[in-house]
Amino acid sequence: MVLARYYEIQGSDCRAMRAPPVAITTRPLLGKLVVNTISELATQPAKCRHVKVPVTQVVYHPDAQRGQDVVAWRVYFQSRELGTRSVQGTVTVVPGKPVRAMPAR
């Protein structure tokens, strides 16, 4: 289950920037948290929707055990305005399908 996706794009000229690095700060006990990079079309700003950007995504893979898992990570943006962001949240694991609470910011 994808918990988060991050990318940066310069709105003035729609130039894609590198995918923001993510560092896991709290690893889950009931599963795995994986950070990978993919390419997708930008969704914001509207004028840049045709631009392909590198995207960092945070993916949770549950084990068979049910319960609540706490996860946290830091995102390092190139933009000085965005800087470094810390994210934490709780994932509820139900046999057969994970359900998550929204990460707190």
pLDDT in tens, 33-74: 999 999 999 988 899 988 999 999 999 999 888 899 999 999
Q: Is 100 domain-assigned?
A: no
Q: Is 103 domain-assigned?
A: no
pLDDT tens digits, residue range 2-36? 999 999 999 889 999 999 999 999 999 999 999 99
The half-sphere exposure of 94 on its side-chain side, counting CA atoms within 13 A, is 5
Domain that holds residue 23: 2-93
Q: b or e along 71-81 (b: 16 or more beta carbons within 10 Å of the residue's beta carbon)?
A: bbbebebeeee
Query: How many domains, in total, are found in the chain?
Result: 1
Q: Is 104 domain-assigned?
A: no
